[in-house]
Amino acid sequence: MMRLSIFFKAFLLLPAATVDSYATPEACSTCTNAHDPSIIRRTDGTYFRFSTGGKIAIHTAPDLVGPWTYKGAVVPSGSSINLAGNQGLWAPDVTKIGDLYYLYYSVSSFGSQNSAIGLARSSSMDAGSWTDVGAVGVTSTSSKSYNAIDANLVQHANGTYFMAFGSWWNGLHMVQMSATPKSTAGTSAFQLSYDGSDKAEEGAYMFKYGSYYYLFYSKGTCCGYDATRPAAGKEYRILVCRSTSLTGGFVDKSGKACTSGGGTVVLPSHDWVYGPGGQGVYQDPRRGPVIYYHYVDTRVGYADGQKRFGWNKLDFSSGWPVV
Ligand SMILES: *[C@@H]1O[C@H](CO)[C@@H](O)[C@H](O)[C@H]1NC(C)=O
């Protein structure tokens, strides 16, 4: 939150166009090990945060602000999916269904389309309580137009489950899941977004607010900034599209279809925040809608292992989410 005095100083000294329009991340203690976070609050009030790598790292905290404590791995012996990357695991997505927590993860390796989405389940989310279910049937090889990574399970108002996923390759996709979403419903995946001039869209996160489904995603180069940094503006950033339908018709703020390159920026690099992405949106009981993400704190370092967990309140009052 911007203090009034700082706001006035910035307003008086700088031309309006250079005044920051994005809030910096809220306070957070021990917020490391945070790539592609997924957040959920257990009924006892404990916040769980899952992240990429380490066979899906589990952290818990009494609140979003931390302190976050490492608790172990979701699948300590790795995924049962027989693919390169099954000892790393990326991009967790956690949902509660009935009495069970479903955690989807990706098995892949950097720059490869040999990928699959897997599932682990638990009744408590504690380390040691997870059972690896394995592949859910969303897979890819170089013969596919997408990459089967970055799952996000969403439920239609009629009860049907869908999984948004992808992709880096050719934008975001979606597939219908079975009634118990351990597997797909057997129908083909379809396209949610596509930008022919910049296909690097991934990390979908669907959030229902009011009468719209908001499709948040990350665009650009996610990783390895300590070795090579992309052209300015091509690093990870968070975009959004919305639709009244869960399964298509997503447009940006200007009305441009998100299957034709549309997409409204929610959070790009700003101040000392670089490459924010891997986001989710959480309806926090204490704060309302919150966007959370990983980012590079340029005052700390650009390596993937140095990425920080950040969060901010989201203001939907204009119909479009604002940080
Ligand atoms: C629920 O809605 C989705 C999206 O329109 C549709 O594909 C699905 O068949 C519907 N399912 C039921 C049970 O009505």
**Range of 265's domain?**
31-313
Please tell me if the CB atom of residue 247 comes closer than 6 angstroms to any atom of ligand 1: yes
Q: In this structure, how many other beta carbons lie within 10 angstroms of the beta carbon of residue 113?
A: 19
Residue from 132, 150, 195, 202 carrying the catalytic annotation: 202
122 phi/psi in degrees, rounded to 5: -155, 155
- Count of structural domains, the chain: 1
Query: Would you state the torsion angle of the CA atoms of residues 116, 239, 229, 142, taken in this order, to the nearest 10 degrees?
Result: 30
* CA–CA distance, 46 with 54 (Å, rounded to integer): 21
Tell me if 8 is assigned to some domain: no
Is 202 designated active site?
Answer: yes
**First-to-last CA distance in the chain?**
10
Tell me if 17 is assigned to some domain: no
Longest CA pairwise span in the chain (Å): 60
Tell me if 79 is assigned to some domain: yes
pLDDT digits (tens, 9 = 90+) for 156-202: 999 999 999 998 889 999 999 999 999 999 999 999 999 999 889 99
Which residue's alpha carbon is nearest to atom 5 within ligand 1? 247
Predicted local distance difference test score (pLDDT) of residue 157: 92
Please tell me if the CB atom of residue 32 comes closer than 6 angstroms to any atom of ligand 1: no
1 has pLDDT over 90: no
Tell me if 149 is assigned to some domain: yes
Please tell me if the CB atom of residue 234 comes closer than 6 angstroms to any atom of ligand 1: no
* CA–CA distance, 145 with 96 (Å, rounded to integer): 30
Tell me if 321 is assigned to some domain: no
Please tell me if the CB atom of residue 187 comes closer than 6 angstroms to any atom of ligand 1: no
* CA–CA distance, 57 with 153 (Å, rounded to integer): 19
* CA–CA distance, 240 with 266 (Å, rounded to integer): 7
Ligand 1 center to 99 CA (angstroms): 24
Ligand 1 center to 158 CA (angstroms): 6
Which residue's alpha carbon is nearest to atom 6 within ligand 1? 160
Ligand 1 center to 44 CA (angstroms): 34
Predicted local distance difference test score (pLDDT) of residue 110: 87
Tell me if 24 is assigned to some domain: no
Ligand 1 center to 162 CA (angstroms): 10
Predicted local distance difference test score (pLDDT) of residue 184: 98
Q: In this structure, how many other beta carbons lie within 10 angstroms of the beta carbon of residue 97?
A: 13
Q: What is the CATH number of the domain that holds 213?
A: 2.115.10.20
Tell me if 72 is assigned to some domain: yes
17 has pLDDT over 60: no
* CA–CA distance, 20 with 29 (Å, rounded to integer): 24
16 has pLDDT over 50: no
Rg (CA), the chain: 19
Predicted local distance difference test score (pLDDT) of residue 306: 95
Which residue's alpha carbon is nearest to atom 14 within ligand 1? 158
* CA–CA distance, 272 with 216 (Å, rounded to integer): 22
Cβ neighbours of residue 164 closer than 8 Å, sequence gap 6 or more: 151, 152, 154, 172, 173, 174, 192, 204, 205, 206, 215
Q: Percent of the chain beyond pLDDT 90?
A: 89
Ligand 1 center to 161 CA (angstroms): 9
Is 284 designated active site?
Answer: no
Tell me if 319 is assigned to some domain: no
Predicted local distance difference test score (pLDDT) of residue 33: 84
pLDDT digits (tens, 9 = 90+) for 201-240: 999 999 999 999 999 999 999 999 999 999 999 999 999 9
Residue from 36, 132, 201, 297 carrying the catalytic annotation: 36
pTM: 0.93
Ligand 1 center to 173 CA (angstroms): 17
What average pLDDT does the segment 116-139 reach? Answer: 98
Please tell me if the CB atom of residue 158 comes closer than 6 angstroms to any atom of ligand 1: yes
